[in-house]
Amino acid sequence: MASLPFSATSFHSTFVCFNYKARNPNLFFLKKGSSFTFSRRKFFIKSVASDQRQDLKEEGQITEEASLDTFVPDSASIASSIKYHSEFTPSFAPDHFKLPKAFKATAESVRDSLIINWNATYAYYEKINVKQAYYLSMEYLQGRALLNAIGNLELTGAYAEALKKLGHNLEDVAREEPDAALGNGGLGRLASCFLDSLATLNYPAWGYGLRYKYGLFKQYITKDGQEEVAENWLEMGNPWEIVRNDVSYPVKFYGEVISGPEGIKEWVGGEDITAVAYDVPIPGYKTKTTINLRLWSTKVAPEKFDLSAFNAGDHAKAYSAMKNAEKICYILYPGDESLEGKTLRLKQQYTLCSASLQDIIARYERRSGEFLNWEIFPEKVAVQMNDTHPTLCIPELIRILIDVKGLSWEQAWNITQSYINGDLSTRTVAYTNHTVLPEALEKWSLELMEKLLPRHVEIIKMIDEELIQTITDEYGTEDLDLLQEKLKQMRILDNIELPESVAEMIAKPEKSSVEAIESTEEDDVSDEETEPTAEEDELEEEEIEEKNEVPPIIEPDPKLPKLVRMANLCVAGGYAVNGVAEIHSEIVKNEVFSDFYEMWPEKFQNKTNGVTPRRWIRFCNPDLSKIITKWTGSVDWVVNTEKLVTLRNFADNEDLQSEWREAKRRNKVKVASFLREKTGYIVNPDAMFDVQVKRIHEYKRQLLNIMGIVYRYKKMKEMSHEERKASFVPRVCIFGGKAFATYVQAKRIVKFITDVGATVNHDPEIGDLLKVVFVPDYNVSVAEMLIPGSELSQHISTAGMEASGTSNMKFAMNGCILIGTLDGANVEIRQEVGEDNFFLFGAEAHEIAGLRKERAEGKFVPDPRFEEVKAYVRSGVFGPYNYEELMGSLEGNEGYGRADYFLVGKDFPSYIECQDKVDEAYRDQKRWTKMSILNTAGSYKFSSDRTIHEYARDIWRIDPVVLP
Instruction: List, by residue number, the catalytic residues.
Output: 434, 694-695, 700, 806, 810
Contacts of 902 (CB under 8 A, 6+ apart): 698, 699, 701, 798, 801
Q: Which residues of 154-163 are buried (b: 16+ CB within 10 A; e: fewer)?
A: ebbebbbbbb
How many helices and strands, by DSSP H and E, does the chain display? 37, 27
Q: Is the dihedral of CA 700, 701, 703, 706 positive or negative?
A: negative
Rounded to whole angstroms, the Cα distance separating 182 from 140 reads 5
Q: How many CB atoms lie within 10 A of CB 88?
A: 15
Rounded to whole angstroms, the Cα distance separating 538 from 545 reads 11
Q: State residue 275 phi and psi, 5-degree precision.
A: -100, 125
Q: Which residues pair with 689 in a beta bridge?
A: 732
Q: Strands across the sheet with 35-38, in order?
A: 4-6, 41-47, 35-38
Question: Taking a C-beta distance cutoff of 8 angstroms, is the pair 391, 569 a contact?
Answer: yes
Burial class from Cβ neighbours inside 10 Å (0-12, 13-18, 19+) for residue 72 reads: middle
* Alpha helices (H) along 761-895: 780-786, 807-813, 826-833, 848-856, 864-874, 884-888
Q: Is the dihedral of CA 231, 233, 236, 242 positive or negative?
A: negative
Burial class from Cβ neighbours inside 10 Å (0-12, 13-18, 19+) for residue 898 reads: middle
Q: Which residues pair with 274 in a beta bridge?
A: 250, 299
Question: Taking a C-beta distance cutoff of 8 angstroms, is the pair 32, 46 a contact?
Answer: yes
Q: Which residues pair with 259 in a beta bridge?
A: 265
End-to-end CA distance of the chain: 44
Residue 285: closest CA among 686, 638, 707: 638
CA atoms lying within 13 Å on the CB side of residue 904? 27
Rounded to whole angstroms, the Cα distance separating 629 from 618 reads 10
Q: Is the dihedral of CA 853, 857, 858, 860 positive or negative?
A: negative
Q: CA of 866: how far to CAs of 297, 727, 855, 870, 890, in Å?
A: 50, 20, 16, 6, 10
